[in-house]
Homo-oligomer: A and B are copies of this chain.
Amino acid sequence: MNSDSFASAFGGMSRRMFLERLGGVGGSALLLAGMSALGFGIASASERPPTLGGGGGKKVVVLGAGLAGLTSAYELSRAGYEVTVLEARGFAGGRCQTARKGFKLQELGGEEQVCDFDDGLYLNHGPWRIPYHHRSTLHYTREFNVPLEVVVNDNDAAYVYFEKGSGPLAGKPVRKGQVAADIRGYSAEILAKQVKQGALDQQMTAEDREQFIAYLRREGYLTEDLAYKGTDGRGFAVNPGAGTDPGPGKESTPFAMTDVLHSNAWRTLSSVAGYEQQRTMFQPIGGMDQIPKAFEKRVGQMIKYSSLVKQIRQDGSGVSVTYTDGTGKTSTLQADYCICTIPLSVLRQMDVGVSQKFKDAIGAVSYSLVGKIGLQMKTRFWEENHHIYGGHIYTDDPNVGTISLPSTGWQGRKGVILGYYNFGSNAAKVSALDVSGRAALALATGQKVFPEYKDSFETAFAASWHRIEHNLGGWAQWDEQARAEAYPVLCEPDGRIYLAGEHLSYLTGWQAGAIESAWQQIAKLDQRVHAA
C-alpha cells in the first residue's frame, strides 16, 4: 500500500497517527493481516476515541450533556482533565430521549405532556436506530455493556400505502416484497430477452452475456424461456402446509407491470439500502436513553443539571461561563477551555464571546423541522392479523411519512407504533396541532392501512423538535454554501472555545456525528495543551 492510497484509506490520517492508534489497541498484527487479505482497509478513521496526552488538571467546562458533551466529559476526565458539565435539563442525553410512563415534555407554547404509556412500553422520539457502521456509537454500547437488539429496518412483508398513484394498486396496502419481486422480475425478463436478441452483442463478450443472462434468470426468478411468472418469494395465495390440503399451497399471481408502475409503490425500492439505512441496525434494549444513562453512571457527578448558560466569555487565559442553576441562583464558572455542544439553533441566540466571523458562521445553518408521534395500541394487530414483524409502512401522505412498527416486545400484548415521522413544512403544520389533533391525524392515515388502527389506539405521545426548548430543531441542515464557508470555521476553535455536536459532522442527526465530533475536538484541545 503506497502512502497515497494509505492516506485515502485512513481518512487522511498520517501513517504515524495510524500506527500510534493501532499500538494502543492491540491486535494490530491481526488487523493488518486482515486488511491486506481482504484487499480493503478500515473504512472509518473514527472507530475509537483518540488517545489523549493527559490533562494534568487543566479545567474544561462542557456545555450540554448530550452525546457530544457526555463523550467529551468521559474521555477528557479519564485523561486527567478536570471537567464540569452544565446541562439545561434535569437529565443527560440531549436529544437522545426515551418517552415512557411519567416522562414529561412541554413544547414551546404547548400543553404539558406526561407520557402515560403502559409500563415497559416506550418511544424513542429522538435517535432510534444505530446502523452497524456507526462504530463510534457501537464503541460505547460495547464499552458500557449496553445490551442491543436488532431494529428491523427493512421488511418485505410490510405494506406500502400510496394513494397518489393510479390503477388498482393505488390507495391499497400492498406488501413491499410483492412489488419488488414483480417489477424486478419483469425488468429481468425484458433485459434478458434484449440480451438474448443481441442488444449487447457489441458491448459484451459472448461469455459475459451468458453469465449475465444466468444472473438475470436468478435475480428475477425467470423461467427457462426467460419469462417472469411470479415466484414463491412474493408469498403464496395459500401457504404450503401439512398433508395434501393445503399441501403445496397455491402460488400468488403477480401484479401487472403497468399496475406496479402506476401505483408509485416502486418508489420505495432500491438495489441496496442507502448508506444510512443499512442492516444490521440496532437499538438498546429498553430505550435509546440507555446510552446516556450509561454515560451518566460514569460522569454524572461532573454534571450540573438544570443549569442555564447565560453568557460565555473568554480571554487569553481562560473561559468564564455564567449560568443560573435550578434555584435561580446565578454563578460563574472559570475554566481553561470550553467544549460547547449547544445546538447552533440555540447558541445563535445566546451571548457568546466569539469573533464576528464565528458568530456569523453559527447563524449560517438551519435546523430541521421534524415530528414524531408514538401511538400505544392495545393489541399487536400488525403481528397477529397481518403477520408483519417490525419494519416500516411507507405512505405518500407527507404529514405521516413513515409509520414504523416496533422491533421490540415481539408477540407481546401491546405495542407503541411510530405513527408519523414528518419533516419540513409538514412537520410545521402538524406541530401546530395539539397532541390529540396530531394523534387524530396519525390515526386517520393509519386506519387506511390497518382496519384495526383506531379501535386499538389507547394513548399518544408526540414530540416536535423544532418546538422543543434547548434544541429548536431536529438536526443541523447545511446547504452547500454554508457547508463550504461556515462549517470549516466552526470546526476550528474560536480562541479557547471548541464546538462539538452532530452539527459539526457529515452524520448530522445521528449520535455517531455527535460522538465523532467530540472525539475530534477533544483531540485538538489535547494537542494544544501538549504543544503549549
Contacts and interface: CB of A to CB of B under 8 A. Distances in A.
Interface stretch (A41-49, A292-300, A338-346, A364-372): A41-49
B488 A451 contact: no
Given A177-B272, A221-B271, A141 B242 contact: no
A242 B33 contact: no
> Max chain B CB contacts within 10 Å: which of A12, A132, A183, A267?
A132
Interface in A78-99: none
Contacts of A220: 271
A210 to B, nearest CB: 9
Contacts of A133: 157, 235, 239, 387
Interface in A505-526: 505-507, 512-513, 516-517, 519-521
Nearest to A46: B241
Contact of A271 (B233, B240, B248, B504): B233
Nearest to A512: B241
A221 B270 contact: yes
Interface in A195-237: 199-200, 204-205, 208, 211-212, 215-216, 218-221, 231-237
A233 B282 contact: no
A132 B151 CA distance: 15
A104 interface: no
Contact of A262 (B141, B211, B389, B488): B211
A181 B272 contact: yes
B247 A506 contact: yes
A40 to B, nearest CB: 8
A266 B157 contact: no
B450 A148 contact: no
> Max chain B CB contacts within 10 Å: which of A10, A249, A506, A516?
A506
A233 B270 contact: yes
A330 to B, nearest CB: 34
B236 A43 contact: yes
Interface residues of A, number: 125
A128 interface: no
Nearest to A145: B411
Contacts of A272: 156, 177, 180-181, 184, 231, 233-234
A282 B218 CA distance: 26
Contacts of A519: 242
A394 B491 CA distance: 43
Nearest to A275: B232
A386 interface: yes
B517 A242 contact: yes
Interface of A: 8-12, 27, 30-31, 33-34, 37-40, 43-46, 132-133, 135, 138, 141-142, 147-150, 152, 154-157, 172-173, 177, 180-181, 183-185, 187-188, 190-191, 194, 199-200, 204-205, 208, 211-212, 215-216, 218-221, 231-250, 257-258, 261-262, 266-267, 269-275, 278-280, 282, 381, 385-391, 407, 410-411, 450-452, 455, 487-488, 491, 504-507, 512-513, 516-517, 519-521
The 7 A-B residue pairs with the shortest CB-CB distance, nearest first, are: A184-B271, A44-B239, A11-B246, A240-B506, A232-B275, A242-B516, A280-B389
Given A45-B245, A155-B280, 13 more contacts: A10-B238, A11-B239, A30-B451, A43-B238, A148-B410, A152-B279, A177-B273, A208-B261, A211-B261, A218-B269, A231-B271, A240-B505, A249-B506
